[in-house]
Structure 1
Amino acid sequence: MTSQPAPAPADTATFDPAPPFGLLLDVDGPIASPVTRTVAIESIGRDLAAMANAGIPVVFNTGRSDAFIAAEVVPALRAAGLREGAPVFTISEKGAVWASVSPAGLGEISIDPELRLPAALYDDVRALVAERYAALMFHDETKRAMVSVEMTVGADPHAYLAAQKHFDEAIPALLEKHGLKDVRIDPTIISTDIEHELLGKDLGAARTLKLLTERGISAGSWFTMGDSRTDYAMAEWLHKHGHEVSHVDVRPADGVPQTPYPVLTSATGAIHDEAGAEFLTNWAGRIAEEA
Structure 2
Amino acid sequence: MIFYSKFSIAKAILLLLASFVLALFLATESAQAFNDTSLPNVQLAEVYDKQNVQDYLISEKYDGVRAIWKDRTLQSRSGNIIHAPTWFTEGLPDVWLDGELWYRRGDFEYVVSTVNKDIPVNSEWKNITYMVFDAPNYNADFQSRATFYTSLIQSLHLAHVKAVDQFSLTTNAELSAYLKNYVAEGAEGLMLQKADAKFADGRSSNLLKLKPYMDAEARVLAHLEGKGKYRDKVGAILVLYSNASGSKITFKIGSGFSDEERANPPPIGSVVTFKYHGFTKRGVPRFASYLRMYKPS
Larger radius of gyration: 2
* TM-score (normalised: structure 1): 0.25
Larger proportion of strand? 2
* TM-score (normalised: structure 2): 0.24
Larger RCO (alpha carbons 8 Å, 6+ apart): 1
